[in-house]
Chains A and B, each alone.
Chain A
Amino acid sequence: KAGVTQTPRYLIKTRGQQVTLSCSPISGHRSVSWYQQTPGQGLQFLFEYFSETQRNKGNFPGRFSGRQFSNSRSEMNVSTLELGDSALYLCASSSTLGGEQFFGPGTRLTVL
């Protein structure tokens, strides 16, 4: 079974731009979660989608949004990028809510 894939793996943007990251979960998994990882703040939960519905949301500003498609693939969008948005963005999929999560390799976003 293929693992969780994330595209792109690396991204460089400038302040004020917007960015869209993509995540393809393991086949059959309906839950997709997104996390932001930075040296200062560690791993922080962004949001979780299950069957195209946002089930949980972390404490991030409205510039961070996401969605999930009928094939369970998910995208997250960050608008009006700030320097502090530079981070590793990790996506994880699970077959059930609260179950074992399988992580992708992440997308490293650098904001200049």
Chain B
Amino acid sequence: AQSVTQLDSHVSVSEGTPVLLRCNYSSSYSPSLFWYVQHPNKGLQLLLKYTSAATLVKGINGFEAEFKKSETSFHLTKPSAHMSDAAEYFCVVVTDSSYKLIFGSGTRLLVRP
């Protein structure tokens, strides 16, 4: 069965410093993986997606993620945090047969001025 684990419930960084949000997945096949962001009182917005093409995936707003099969990880990074990046981030894996999206528990990113 597929599952996804976000290793940190909260991450706090200073503006201008790098961001690392960690995600490990469990899947018996080559999965599709997504990162979504949710700003307060808003719906979810897709940041980026991996679908077995390039292992380094670039998304919107300067975010990128690297798919590492050997480590079963799909960590989200950004070189320099901006105040507007403060939000909750969800790592998502798509199940194989039924195409359901399984969400991680979320990581809340705080950006300090």
Contacts and interface: CB of A to CB of B under 8 A. Distances in A.
Interface of A: 4, 33, 35, 42-45, 48, 55-56, 58, 90, 92, 97-98, 100-106
Interface stretch (B18-26, B68-76, B97-105): B97-105
20 contacts: A42-B105, A42-B106, A43-B103, A43-B106, A45-B100, A45-B101, A55-B99, A56-B99, A90-B43, A97-B99, A98-B32, A98-B99, A100-B34, A100-B46, A101-B46, A101-B101, A103-B36, A103-B43, A105-B43, A106-B43
Contacts of B100: 45, 48, 56, 58
B44 interface: yes
Interface string B20-56: 0000000000001010100000111110010000000
